[in-house]
C-alpha cells in the first residue's frame, strides 16, 4: 500500500493511499522513496490548488528499486536511483529535426505530462514510473546528496547553456538553493570574479559559508562592486535566480554591452523590459528550464568530486504529516529554511 500527498484545494493537501499493481506494465519500475526535496514549483502547486501536473508534486526524489517489469534491464531491484528524464527519444518531432537536446519526450517527462506519467509525485512511500525516469546513483553520494541532484541538474543545465566564458565577471542574483547551486557551477566553470546579491542575511551567510567572498545586499553595495570590478562596463554574465518579475529589467542593466543575461528563476507574472535597450546593447538572453538526461550525469559528478556542495543547503527533514505546515512556512516568505527534504517513513 502506497501513501502519498495530493493537493485537494488551494493551500490544502490530503494523504491518500493506493495499492500498487500486482504486475508492472512493460518498461515500468517501482521505487521505494527514501527522500524527496521540496522546491518552489511544489509550493506554487500547493498554493494554486494543483495547477501544475500532479506527477511533479514532489519531483526531487531518490529511492531504491523495489521491482522491475520483466523487460527492464537498465536497473535492478535494490539499486539506489534518482528521478531524472530519459535520453533523447529519437522519434519525436524535435529529435527527427535534429534537435535532440530539446527532445519533446524528455521535456514532457520533466513536466509530468507524458501518457505514462504517474498519478502522483514523490511525496509518497513509493512510486511506479517508467524506467526512463530513473538513473542509478553513482558511488560516493549520500542519500541527502542524491535527493538534491535534481536541482543541481537544473542549475548545471543553465550554466552549460549559458556558455560562460573562462574568467568571466559574473553576478548571481538570489541565494536560495537555486542561486547557491548556480553560483557553484559558475565558479566551477571558471568565473574570474563572482558576486552574489541577496537581501536575506541568513542566505548571504550561506553563500559565504560556501566560500564566496563577494556577497552583498541589493543596492549601493552591488552597484559599487560592478563599478569597481568592471570600470563601469557591466558584468559579462548575470544569472537571475529569484524569479521576481520586477527584477528582470534592473538585472539586464547590470550586464555589459554584448554580455549575457541567463534566466533560471521562473516568474509567475508578466515582466516589463526595455526591448530597445536589449537590442541596442546586443544582449544575449538565455532561457533555461529543466534539463536533459546527461545533465544529471554531470550534476552527480560535480557532487561526487566536491565541486558543488549541498550538505549545508539541507536545513530540515520532515515526514508526510508535516508537509502541509512546511508548505505554508515556505510560502510565507518568513522562513529560514533552504532545502527541506521529506522522509516518507517518518
CB-based contact 203:181 (threshold 8 Å): no
pLDDT in tens, the chain (346 residues): 999 999 999 999 999 999 989 999 999 999 999 999 999 999 999 999 999 999 999 999 999 999 999 999 999 999 999 999 999 999 999 999 999 999 999 999 999 999 999 999 999 999 999 999 999 999 999 999 999 999 999 999 999 999 999 999 999 999 999 999 999 999 999 999 999 999 999 999 999 999 999 999 999 999 999 999 999 999 999 999 999 999 999 999 999 999 999 999 988 888 888 889 999 999 999 999 999 999 999 999 999 999 999 999 999 999 999 999 999 999 998 888 999 999 999 9
pLDDT of residue 269: 87
Please name the residue that has the C-alpha cell 520533466: 110
Q: Are strands 193-197 and 169-173 parallel, antiparallel or unpaired?
A: parallel
107: three-class secondary structure by DSSP:
helix
The pLDDT, as a whole number, for residue 51 is 92
Parallel, antiparallel, or unpaired: how do β-strands 255-263 and 284-287 relate? Answer: parallel
Q: Is residue 106 a contact partner of residue 320, using CB atoms and an 8 Å limit?
A: no
Q: Cα separation of 209 and 189, whole Å?
A: 19
Structural domains in the chain, sorted by start:
2-148+310-342 (3.90.180.10), 155-287 (3.40.50.720)
Cβ atoms of 82 and 153 closer than 8 Å? no
User: What pLDDT sits at residue 336?
Assistant: 87
The whole-number pLDDT of residue 268 equals: 81
Percentage of the chain lying above the pLDDT 70 cut: 100
Q: How many CB atoms lie within 10 A of CB 282?
A: 9
pTM score, whole prediction? 0.96
CB atoms within 10 A of CB 69: 16
Reading phi first (left if > 0) and then psi (alpha if -120 to 50, else beta), residue 167 is in: left
Residue 175 is predicted with a pLDDT of 96
Q: Are 116 and 130 in contact (CB under 8 A)?
A: yes
Amino acid at each position: 500500500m502506497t501513501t502519498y500527498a495530493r493537493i485537494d484545494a488551494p493551500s490544502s493537501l490530503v494523504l491518500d493511499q493506493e495499492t500498487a499493481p500486482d504486475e508492472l506494465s512493460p518498461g515500468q519500475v517501482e521505487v521505494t522513496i527514501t527522500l524527496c526535496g521540496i522546491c518552489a514549483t511544489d509550493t506554487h502547486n500547493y498554493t494554486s490548488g494543483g495547477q501544475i501536473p500532479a506527477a511533479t508534486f514532489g519531483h526531487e526524489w531518490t529511492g531504491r528499486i523495489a521491482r522491475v517489469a520483466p523487460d527492464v534491464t537498465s536497473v535492478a531491484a535494490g539499486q539506489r536511483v534518482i528521478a531524472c528524464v530519459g535520453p533523447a527519444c529519437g522519434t519525436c518531432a524535435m529529435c527527427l529535426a535534429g534537435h535532440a537536446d530539446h527532445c519533446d519526450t524528455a521535456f514532457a517527462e520533466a513536466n509530468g505530462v507524458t501518457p505514462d506519467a504517474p498519478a502522483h509525485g514523490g511525496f509518497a512511500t513509493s512510486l511506479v514510473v517508467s524506467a526512463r525516469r530513473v538513473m542509478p546513483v553513482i558511488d560516493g553520494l549520500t542519500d541527502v546528496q542524491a535527493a538534491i541532484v535534481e536541482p543541481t541538474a537544473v542549475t548545471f543545465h543553465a550554466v552549460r547553456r549559458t556558455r560562460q566564458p573562462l574568467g568571466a565577471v559574473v553576478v548571481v542574483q538570489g541565494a536560495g538553493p537555486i542561486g547557491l547551486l548556480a553560483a557553484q557551477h559558475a565558479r566551477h566553470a571558471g568565473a574570474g570574479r563572482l558576486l552574489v546579491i541577496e537581501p536575506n542575511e541568513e542566505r548571504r551567510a550561506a553563500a559565504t559559508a560556501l566560500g564566496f567572498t563577494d556577497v552583498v545586499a541589493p543596492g549601493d553595495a552591488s552597484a559599487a562592486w560592478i563599478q569597481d570590478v568592471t570600470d563601469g562596463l557591466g558584468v559579462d554574465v548575470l544569472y537571475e535566480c529569484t524569479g521576481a518579475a520586477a527584477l528582470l529589467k534592473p538585472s539586464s542593466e547590470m550586464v555589459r554591452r554584448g554580455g549575457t543575461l541567463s534566466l533560471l528563476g521562473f516568474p509567475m507574472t508578466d515582466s516589463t523590459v526595455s526591448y530597445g535597450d536589449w537590442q541596442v546593447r546586443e544582449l544575449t538572453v538565455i532561457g533555461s528550464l529543466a534539463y536533459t538526461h546527461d545533465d544529471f550525469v554531470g550534476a552527480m559528478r560535480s557532487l561526487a568530486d566536491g565541486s558543488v556542495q549541498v550538505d549545508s543547503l539541507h536545513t530540515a527533514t520532515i515526514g508526510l504529516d508535516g508537509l502541509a505546515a512546511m508548505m505554508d512556512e515556505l510560502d510565507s516568505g518568513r522562513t529560514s529554511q533552504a532545502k527541506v527534504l521529506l522522509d516518507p517513513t517518518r
